Amino acid sequence: MKTLHIKVFGKVQGVGFRYFTERLALQYHITGTVQNVDEHVEIYATGNETLSQFEQAVIRGASPMSKVESYTSEEISPQPFNRFTTLK
């Protein structure tokens, strides 16, 4: 089990990015959170084999209206999430 802390920058707020990220998390069996923070979206994602696939799907643009300009991703100590949640 691994956890990634991902920050996504660009046109990612007000375009359904969090909603589509949550749908991708369900598709890839990922637990964690997604939320808007300042000028970016912050994601904590925990999973196994599908974690890197989830990360790439998010970066390709979780929402049709979004435009990812840059991102950071780092592995952190595993976080025990029960499900994937959109935070306000």
60 is catalytic: no
18 is catalytic: yes
Report the alpha-carbon distance of residue 3 to residue 1 in Å, rounded: 7
Residue 55 sits at φ, ψ, to 5 deg, of -55, -45
Q: Which of 18, 23, 48, 60 is catalytic?
A: 18
Buried b (16+ CB within 10 A) or exposed e, 58-78: beebbbeebebeebeeeeeee
User: Catalytic residues, which ones?
Assistant: 18, 36
